[in-house]
Copies of this chain bind each other. A is one copy, B any other.
Amino acid sequence: MSTENYIPKTRLEAFSDGVIAIIITIMVLELKVPHGTDFASLRPILPSFLSYILSFIVLGIYWNNHHHLLHAAKHINGKIMWANLHLLFWLSLVPFVTNWLGENHNESWPTFLYGIVFLMAAVAYVILQTLIVEKHGKDSLLAQALGSDWKGKLSLMSYVSALGLAFINHWFSVALYILVAILWLIPDQRIEKVIEKER
């Protein structure tokens, strides 16, 4: 048994919870209070609000899945800690791209950059997941439960497609971002089943 097994996962979970909680909350600071006082004055911030909702949901999905993945994990090592920080890095850029997209919702580049950050976050999640599975063995219940990970693969493919589509019609990209969110809103029962089996 290597020394690496001895890092407790509680502080990793607590730190990740803290960072995701802050990211999900500071986004609201970018919703600029309208100067007017009537209903019409809210209309200009509607795109910002809609991109806020989308980012809030995607961050909620990451927190949810991260929660499940770490719960299923038994062993943590230095590599996993850095893979986790790498994921948090890309998530930390979500407020920035959400803001740029919200203020320029009809433009290709903001739509593209939004997709880049989400693609990189998805890649970072796959790396984290792979390292955790590797640590637990190819035959572990966790590895079996994830199976082909079609959701993860489909998400990556959708984000890559969205990047190209952003320059044809950026609404296609936005539609794909929403579809990926819907895909993940269904909780990841694969890991829940593993937890059940182990009891």
Of A134-142, A175-183, A185-193, the one contacting chain B is A185-193
Does A110 sit within 8 A of B, measured CB to CB?
yes
Does A109 sit within 8 A of B, measured CB to CB?
yes
CB distance from A146 to the nearest CB of B (A): 15
Write out the residue numbers on chain B whose beta carbons fall within 8 Å of the beta carbon of A108.
Answer: 37
User: Does the CB pair B17–A92 fall under 8 Å?
Assistant: no
Interface size on A, residues (CB 8 A): 65
User: Does the CB pair A42–B113 fall under 8 Å?
Assistant: yes
Please, how many angstroms separate the alpha-carbon atoms of A5 and B150 in the complex? 25
For A86, the closest partner residue in chain B by CB is B60
* A6/B192 contact (C-beta < 8 A), A29-B95, A67-B11, A109-B38 known: yes
Assembly stoichiometry (copies): 4
User: Does the CB pair B93–A28 fall under 8 Å?
Assistant: yes
Please, how many angstroms separate the alpha-carbon atoms of A187 and B147 in the complex? 31
User: Does the CB pair A33–B103 fall under 8 Å?
Assistant: yes
For A60, the closest partner residue in chain B by CB is B85
For A81, the closest partner residue in chain B by CB is B64
Quick one: which of A17, A26, A85, A192 has the most chain B CB within 10 A?
A17
Please, how many angstroms separate the alpha-carbon atoms of A67 and B8 in the complex? 10
| In the complex, chain A residues 20-72 whose Cβ is within 8 Å of any chain B Cβ | 20-26, 28-31, 33-34, 37-39, 41-42, 53, 56, 60, 63-64, 67-68, 71
Give the contacting residue for A107; candidates B20, B37, B63; CB below 8 A. Answer: B37
Does A3 sit within 8 A of B, measured CB to CB?
yes
Q: Which residues of A are interface residues toward B (Cβ below 8 A)?
A: 3-4, 6-8, 11, 13-15, 17-26, 28-31, 33-34, 37-39, 41-42, 53, 56, 60, 63-64, 67-68, 71, 78, 81-82, 85, 88-89, 92-93, 95-96, 99-100, 103-104, 107-110, 113, 185, 187, 189, 192-193, 195-196, 199
